[in-house]
Structure 1
């Protein structure tokens, strides 16, 4: 965006402002320094703030879900995905998934995430599983369950017919959690009966370690245990990966996540990340579907995802994050220029998994906007798929619908939270209706999306823009309704003042969105003509 500031003579500038007063809110023109938290440069020139070139979109012929840089496409066109993590939607035989997907369409929800193996529902709702379960209740890891695979394929067809993208997670192990593995001396009355535990299968594998767990053994590609049929852990894991790609790889609306929440329960990710990369490689080589990995947690810091930044096998990096929009931005900062899609495919509860979107909708709305403003995609965690269509679910769906509709009002695939040097565009905003609570996506000189949250005020937004004519619109993020609009003009690069809407028109708990666009056509021509006449005097 940034061009060098060259001011004309004072009387010329004053005259130009007088000419433009009737069409703008601008009251002051001041230069402002721009300082990134990682830079000591107070006077970064405007022309150094340019988007990452990988965000440029070129229409392609990819059918179904694809990507261009860090944004999704569908049928070759940019698409902003909003969705729900409904893990058991396909494998719960009691759920009418067609009716559920129709609810998705009704609220413009275009993505859903499911699991291959919903171990948590094995006894609670008779979840269908990838493997046969014998009459004794024991699993047989050497025999597939055709009912599961057929129902899941039918689910994918129904989703495809509605242009809904499906993310399917191959592995969802918690081998470092005793309540999951259930080999800790607790009476055998648990609900899970994990198939990988030798106590729960007919195959004679796999055994607990001295702690009564199976971590880090589950992630050891060379784990030595051999089943009754002569097969090792890696063989069974590869079987599941290959079965997923062979059964579902032909679906153009599907992408595949290797593992849910890889790195939980103090797993040493620096040591064991090759496990996740190996299965990403295998999926990449056996199917045309895009591949996702779980790349990091907020508590791990922004550098843990480094293991996946340069992998040619990884398209999408999933995260589990908490905190304010600024904390989310900080967590994703060093991943924003790696050309990968960034996603939170399952929102956390606040605090510490205690509150979901059903009972803390505004907080989840802020979080969803935090992910978008960091250049990513989001899915609300629906812990009970039978609630799809309920009033609580509809309330969440409407917030996601509003996010998608506001995102689609701009060329979001051309926007970035940072420039190619990693400088955050947030620095272009110096003031706003919520004080320090703001984030900014920008395609400098063309389009901007700002998000404000927190304490309210009547303060105008002060945003630094190149010279030109701009329109602006304020939106309520709860329903994408237009609150206020107007126009501003800059004769030279500098700070523009945009009036904020009345504080009664929006909620500080959910937030407020501002879109600024460079004007085109007749308005720009009039501005250029006026500017040329004034400059010639």
Structure 2
């Protein structure tokens, strides 16, 4: 394994001529005046005779950029949509993020390219990537010497190349990557025994110096690992924090070169608020002038808990919200808890993501709680009707990954998107009557479009009494992802609607 020396800077190195650093002209983020200043400095250099003509050409180009249209100067990276901050925009256009993938730390996947190709082929544009290295075939972030010890002062290039490959491949396919920097499962129980941060595995510090123990046998949700208490306001563990900071800086030195990245500090953390606040500030500071979008993912399944207020109450700190843990709740409670979040942030709307949707018939321990394949598909559809900016099926066996049901679900929503944009619709459950719990869910735009979801069978009434026009109803089955025959529906009254199948279908009802 070849090592690279650890660097504490997020800046890209400049090319050198005769031992002198050349400043880099920037035609997107820096001003024309700044490029003029660079040009003037270059004139003083000994090699100016051959480089000045080229420099002058670049200068004219950069100045001409200043008079381009406003549209051409708009940021093109992933960011809350300027017209509706509850959703994302990318490349200057609003996007609904839908995904399914087969691994948490996707950058370590051997067949990454083909996996991303498959996702893009069915309409997926959203993946999750933890920076984890706990699986047997994973590369670690740090150099390992001939004695089997890690050196936290040196990087393992293979790990970081895999990371950059993921970002580049995703970028080429217009796929958004939601990164999770820290994962508590990497640093507890059996995973701690192979962790580079474990003092027995590295050459950089002892247990005493780093205030660490040889065993952390409890579930990481107990939050007993000092690894997550290093900031000054907590245990002020300078020995360990030094290497944590260097890791994050190295990550940013790569990720800041890509504009298809969202940042999540932790995977389903039960950590204290000060830990998250420290890293939120650190990322913001180290990102400099580069705009990043960041959140924290709390572990509590109940979205009304005080734990989630740490994100909900702080839009100045967290640019979006991830409530993946809500998918541990089933049926009506799953819907109601998510709607609680949307109501809570009404005055300061932000994108609400779900980078993990749990549920698979293959994971037996959760079936008794109803966290099944059917639950995963239902949650995916409810999320979208409910106003989520993103939804992604979790990896197997805890989720469906990129499998038949997840593929059909994504394809179904993309076909619906061809007829109506989901961000134009709002939940309107009050327009349904004769409805039993979890029987049907409705989103729409009054008098124009309605999207009605039946997880199973049933029959409900849709209130069209204020709109005497004629409507066209189209059914689409989740199992087949194909449109059925259209039906004409008279407005001016409450109309009974029943699905043609009992295993999941949607009705798109639009005014003629």
Q: Give the Å deviation of 1:394.
A: 4.3
Q: Give the Å deviation of 1:148.
A: 1.7
2:341 to 332, 335, 340: 335
Q: Give the Å deviation of 1:81.
A: 1.4
SS of the residue corresponding to residue 383 of structure 2 reads helix
CA contact under 8 A between 1:415 and 1:441: conserved in structure 2? yes
Range that drifts further, 325-334 or 107-116: 325-334
Match of 1:297 in 2: 300
Say if 1:210 and 1:153 are closer, same or farther in 2 by CA, change over 3 A: closer
Match of 1:478 in 2: 479
CA distance in 1, matches of 2:211, 2:364: 33
SS of the residue corresponding to residue 345 of structure 1 reads coil
Say if 1:279 and 1:306 are closer, same or farther in 2 by CA, change over 3 A: farther
CA contact under 8 A between 1:474 and 1:483: conserved in structure 2? yes
Match of 2:277 in 1: 274
Match of 2:263 in 1: 256
Q: Give the Å deviation of 1:135.
A: 2.9
Match of 2:112 in 1: 97
Q: Give the Å deviation of 1:272.
A: 5.1
CA distance in 2, matches of 1:379, 1:467: 36
Match of 1:142 in 2: 153
Mind listing any 5+ residue stretches in structure 2 that lack a counterpart?
A: 1-70, 218-222
Mind listing any 5+ residue stretches in structure 1 that lack a counterpart?
A: 1-57, 183-192, 418-424, 520-537
SS of the residue corresponding to residue 305 of structure 1 reads helix
Q: Give the Å deviation of 1:395.
A: 4.4
CA distance in 2, matches of 1:271, 1:162: 37
Q: Give the Å deviation of 1:112.
A: 1.6
Which residues in structure 2 correspond to 1:498-517 (within 5 Å)?
Answer: 498-502=496-500, 506-508=501-503, 511-517=504-510
Match of 1:467 in 2: 467
1:172 to 172, 183, 186: 183
CA contact under 8 A between 2:77 and 2:260: conserved in structure 1? yes
Which residues in structure 2 correspond to 1:351-366 (within 5 Å)?
Answer: 354=364, 360-366=372-378
CA distance in 2, matches of 1:279, 1:217: 19
CA distance in 2, matches of 1:333, 1:311: 18
Match of 1:324 in 2: 330
Q: TM-score, normalising length from structure 1? A: 0.68
Q: Give the Å deviation of 1:249.
A: 1.0
Match of 1:88 in 2: 105
Task: Verify: 1:368 aligned to 2:380, yes or no.
Answer: yes
Task: Verify: 1:397 aligned to 2:407, yes or no.
Answer: yes
Match of 2:443 in 1: 441
CA distance in 1, matches of 2:186, 2:379: 29
1:70 to 59, 83, 86: 86
CA distance in 2, matches of 1:341, 1:283: 23
Q: Give the Å deviation of 1:449.
A: 1.8
SS of the residue corresponding to residue 142 of structure 1 reads strand
Match of 2:35 in 1: none
CA distance in 2, matches of 1:89, 1:175: 15
SS of the residue corresponding to residue 174 of structure 1 reads helix
Q: TM-score, normalising length from structure 2? A: 0.71
SS of the residue corresponding to residue 90 of structure 1 reads helix
CA contact under 8 A between 2:356 and 2:392: conserved in structure 1? yes
Task: Verify: 1:380 aligned to 2:390, yes or no.
Answer: no
SS of the residue corresponding to residue 289 of structure 1 reads coil
Q: Give the Å deviation of 1:476.
A: 1.1
**Greater RCO (Cα-Cα under 8 Å, separation 6 or more):** 1
CA contact under 8 A between 1:117 and 1:130: conserved in structure 2? no
Q: Give the Å deviation of 1:232.
A: 3.1
CA distance in 2, matches of 1:210, 1:134: 21
Q: Give the Å deviation of 1:518.
A: 3.5
CA distance in 2, matches of 1:99, 1:306: 39
CA distance in 1, matches of 2:188, 2:164: 31
CA distance in 1, matches of 2:72, 2:185: 41
Q: Give the Å deviation of 1:316.
A: 2.6
Say if 1:466 and 1:291 are closer, same or farther in 2 by CA, change over 3 A: farther
Say if 1:289 and 1:362 are closer, same or farther in 2 by CA, change over 3 A: same
Task: Verify: 1:117 aligned to 2:132, yes or no.
Answer: yes
Say if 1:443 and 1:279 are closer, same or farther in 2 by CA, change over 3 A: farther
Cα RMSD for the two superposed structures? 3.5
CA distance in 2, matches of 1:286, 1:84: 32
Q: Give the Å deviation of 1:137.
A: 2.9
CA contact under 8 A between 1:91 and 1:129: conserved in structure 2? no
Q: Give the Å deviation of 1:429.
A: 0.6
Aligned residues: 415
- Structure with the largest fraction of helix: 2
Say if 1:225 and 1:305 are closer, same or farther in 2 by CA, change over 3 A: closer
Say if 1:177 and 1:60 are closer, same or farther in 2 by CA, change over 3 A: same
CA distance in 2, matches of 1:438, 1:219: 43
SS of the residue corresponding to residue 356 of structure 2 reads coil
Q: Give the Å deviation of 1:128.
A: 1.6
CA contact under 8 A between 2:98 and 2:125: conserved in structure 1? yes
